[in-house]
Amino acid sequence: MGIAPFDLNTHFTWIRLAIALVWVVFGLVFKALGAVPRHRQIVARVVGEYRAQAVTSLVAIGEIGLGLWMLYGRYLPFCIGIQTLVVATMNALELRYARDLLLSPVAMLSANVILLGLGWYVALAS
Protein backbone atom coordinates (compact mmCIF):
# COMPACT_ATOMS: atom_id res chain seq x y z
CA MET A 1 0.00 0.00 0.00
CA GLY A 2 2.78 2.42 -0.93
CA ILE A 3 2.61 4.97 -3.69
CA ALA A 4 0.60 3.98 -6.76
CA PRO A 5 2.67 4.22 -9.94
CA PHE A 6 2.13 7.28 -12.09
CA ASP A 7 2.31 5.64 -15.50
CA LEU A 8 0.44 7.52 -18.23
CA ASN A 9 0.26 4.31 -20.23
CA THR A 10 -2.23 2.75 -17.82
CA HIS A 11 -5.91 3.48 -17.44
CA PHE A 12 -5.47 3.51 -13.65
CA THR A 13 -3.41 6.69 -13.86
CA TRP A 14 -5.93 8.38 -16.16
CA ILE A 15 -8.77 7.52 -13.80
CA ARG A 16 -6.73 8.91 -10.88
CA LEU A 17 -6.11 12.10 -12.86
CA ALA A 18 -9.82 12.45 -13.64
CA ILE A 19 -10.84 11.95 -10.01
CA ALA A 20 -8.19 14.41 -8.83
CA LEU A 21 -9.40 16.93 -11.39
CA VAL A 22 -12.98 16.64 -10.14
CA TRP A 23 -11.89 17.38 -6.56
CA VAL A 24 -9.62 20.27 -7.54
CA VAL A 25 -12.20 21.87 -9.85
CA PHE A 26 -14.98 21.61 -7.28
CA GLY A 27 -12.74 22.90 -4.49
CA LEU A 28 -10.73 25.58 -6.27
CA VAL A 29 -12.99 26.82 -9.05
CA PHE A 30 -16.50 26.22 -7.74
CA LYS A 31 -15.93 26.99 -4.06
CA ALA A 32 -12.69 28.94 -3.43
CA LEU A 33 -13.05 31.15 -6.50
CA GLY A 34 -16.85 31.27 -6.18
CA ALA A 35 -17.58 30.32 -9.80
CA VAL A 36 -20.73 28.52 -8.63
CA PRO A 37 -22.33 30.65 -5.88
CA ARG A 38 -24.92 27.94 -5.29
CA HIS A 39 -22.24 25.91 -3.47
CA ARG A 40 -21.88 28.62 -0.80
CA GLN A 41 -25.67 28.89 -0.59
CA ILE A 42 -25.89 25.16 0.10
CA VAL A 43 -23.27 25.48 2.84
CA ALA A 44 -25.22 28.44 4.29
CA ARG A 45 -28.31 26.26 4.58
CA VAL A 46 -26.35 23.78 6.68
CA VAL A 47 -24.19 26.04 8.90
CA GLY A 48 -25.96 29.40 8.66
CA GLU A 49 -25.21 32.51 6.67
CA TYR A 50 -22.75 33.88 9.23
CA ARG A 51 -20.39 30.89 8.95
CA ALA A 52 -21.01 30.03 5.29
CA GLN A 53 -17.98 31.74 3.75
CA ALA A 54 -15.50 30.36 6.26
CA VAL A 55 -16.91 26.84 6.06
CA THR A 56 -17.04 26.99 2.25
CA SER A 57 -13.36 27.96 2.28
CA LEU A 58 -12.53 25.05 4.57
CA VAL A 59 -14.48 22.67 2.35
CA ALA A 60 -12.61 24.05 -0.67
CA ILE A 61 -9.24 23.42 1.01
CA GLY A 62 -10.33 19.90 1.93
CA GLU A 63 -11.49 19.13 -1.60
CA ILE A 64 -8.28 20.47 -3.13
CA GLY A 65 -6.34 18.38 -0.62
CA LEU A 66 -8.23 15.24 -1.61
CA GLY A 67 -7.45 15.95 -5.26
CA LEU A 68 -3.76 16.41 -4.54
CA TRP A 69 -3.71 13.27 -2.41
CA MET A 70 -5.26 11.35 -5.29
CA LEU A 71 -2.54 12.67 -7.62
CA TYR A 72 0.20 11.75 -5.16
CA GLY A 73 -1.16 8.22 -4.99
CA ARG A 74 -0.03 7.23 -1.50
CA TYR A 75 -2.40 5.12 0.61
CA LEU A 76 -5.12 5.24 -2.04
CA PRO A 77 -7.56 2.94 -0.20
CA PHE A 78 -7.44 5.30 2.78
CA CYS A 79 -7.81 8.30 0.45
CA ILE A 80 -10.88 6.80 -1.21
CA GLY A 81 -12.27 5.84 2.18
CA ILE A 82 -12.05 9.47 3.26
CA GLN A 83 -13.59 10.55 -0.05
CA THR A 84 -16.47 8.12 0.51
CA LEU A 85 -17.15 9.54 3.99
CA VAL A 86 -16.93 13.12 2.71
CA VAL A 87 -19.22 12.54 -0.26
CA ALA A 88 -21.78 10.57 1.79
CA THR A 89 -21.83 13.29 4.47
CA MET A 90 -22.08 16.15 1.98
CA ASN A 91 -24.82 14.40 -0.01
CA ALA A 92 -26.84 13.64 3.11
CA LEU A 93 -26.58 17.25 4.31
CA GLU A 94 -27.41 18.65 0.87
CA LEU A 95 -30.45 16.41 0.47
CA ARG A 96 -31.65 17.21 3.99
CA TYR A 97 -31.12 20.98 4.09
CA ALA A 98 -30.78 22.27 0.54
CA ARG A 99 -32.57 19.89 -1.81
CA ASP A 100 -34.22 22.82 -3.63
CA LEU A 101 -30.78 24.23 -4.51
CA LEU A 102 -29.62 21.01 -6.16
CA LEU A 103 -29.86 20.91 -9.94
CA SER A 104 -30.67 17.20 -9.95
CA PRO A 105 -30.40 15.09 -6.81
CA VAL A 106 -30.57 11.83 -8.78
CA ALA A 107 -27.81 12.93 -11.19
CA MET A 108 -25.69 14.14 -8.26
CA LEU A 109 -26.00 10.83 -6.45
CA SER A 110 -25.37 8.85 -9.64
CA ALA A 111 -22.28 10.86 -10.52
CA ASN A 112 -20.93 10.44 -7.00
CA VAL A 113 -21.48 6.68 -7.04
CA ILE A 114 -19.58 6.50 -10.33
CA LEU A 115 -16.77 8.73 -9.01
CA LEU A 116 -16.37 6.66 -5.85
CA GLY A 117 -16.72 3.37 -7.71
CA LEU A 118 -13.90 4.34 -10.04
CA GLY A 119 -11.86 5.51 -7.08
CA TRP A 120 -12.27 2.20 -5.28
CA TYR A 121 -11.43 0.35 -8.51
CA VAL A 122 -8.14 2.23 -8.78
CA ALA A 123 -7.36 2.08 -5.06
CA LEU A 124 -7.88 -1.65 -4.75
CA ALA A 125 -5.90 -2.37 -7.91
CA SER A 126 -2.89 -0.31 -6.81
pLDDT bin (cut points 50, 70, 90) of residue 6 is: confident
What is the per-residue pLDDT for 68? Answer: 98
Rounded CA separation 97/77 (Å): 30
Query: 3 forms bridges with which residues in the sheet?
Result: 74
What is the per-residue pLDDT for 91? Answer: 98
Tell me which of 72 and 4 has the higher pLDDT.
72
With a pLDDT cut of 90, the percent of the chain lying above it is: 94
Can you tell me the mean pLDDT for 38-65? 98
What is the per-residue pLDDT for 65? Answer: 98
Q: Given a cut of 70, is residue 55 above it in pLDDT? A: yes
Rounded CA separation 53/100 (Å): 20
What is the per-residue pLDDT for 1? Answer: 60
